[in-house]
Amino acid sequence: MSATNTPKQATIAAQPNTNQPIAMVTGATSGIGLATAKALAGLGYNLIITGRRADRLAALQAVLTVPSLVLVFDVADREAVKSTIASLPEVWQSIDVLVNNAGNAHGLASSENADLDDWDAMIDINVKGLLYVTKAVLPQMVSRQTGHIINISSIAGRETYANGAVYCASKAAVDRITTGMRIDLNPHNIKVASIAPGMVDTEFSLVRFKGDAERAGNVYKGLTPLSADDVADAVVYMVTRPAHVNIADILILPTAQASATVVKRVG
């Protein structure tokens, strides 16, 4: 395991406000996770922010105006997830909202040309990572008979497109896992939901194309994609509904996008 992925001692900025709920956001170092953390801070949530890049988490924590705790670990590392969440200070253990945002896409190649390491990374993070974090957080939610889990999926989980077989499969798994968990956790009064964004202008394409900024930029050329804030707004909408309401599923697209592969471009 690389130094970047080694779990670090939790960095705490103030004790949680006992009058406010606690939210955990995975993949809070950039994009949707970063925007979601800021949006939940705007609602007064105490925040547990997680990711692999300690410097980015520290920068986020520095601008938050609510009590926060930083956890540095890789969601794909089963033991790191288990041990780090188990070691949370007692006052931070009662997580009310879990946003499973950490995810990735690697490569855009046909099945015969794809890199097995890319496939492993997508399955390990998008599917296993979500399961590891959720399993670690669930016991206290079940014990308290309350909680809210929001999984960030993708339109790719609903429509398979060329050269994206494994990424699409990983997000389809998130969809099915979400539905199954909602059924399983129904007796425990735990809300389980998913948000499936279409094209969002984040680091997503830059990661997928392994740092090729020109190719990544072309993904959004000639249209106005969603912003990370647009998706964070959907999270806010979900968590601010009354206790008896669960917005179970949201598909959110830019106006220019009609499906995974149908997009109106100008110029």
Q: What is the Cα 96 distance to its own chain's centre?
A: 16
Alpha-carbon gap, residue 127 to 98, rounded angstroms: 15
Six-digit token string for 111: 């099945």
Q: State the catalytic residue, choosing from 45, 132, 161, 167.
A: 167
SS3 (DSSP) at 99: strand
Alpha-carbon gap, residue 231 to 195, rounded angstroms: 8
Strand duo 147-152 + 11-13: pairing: unpaired
Alpha-carbon gap, residue 164 to 153, rounded angstroms: 15
Of 112, 129, 17, residue with least CA distance to 68: 17
In angstroms, how far is the first alpha carbon of the chain from the final one? 46
Q: Specify whether the CB–CB gap between 200 and 228 falls below 8 A.
A: yes
In the chain the beta strands, taken as DSSP E runs, fall at 11-13, 22-25, 46-51, 68-72, 97-100, 147-152, 190-197, 249-252
**Known catalytic membership, residue 45:** no
Residue type, position 11, single letter: T
Q: Specify whether the CB–CB gap between 10 and 89 falls below 8 A.
A: yes
Catalytic residues: 167
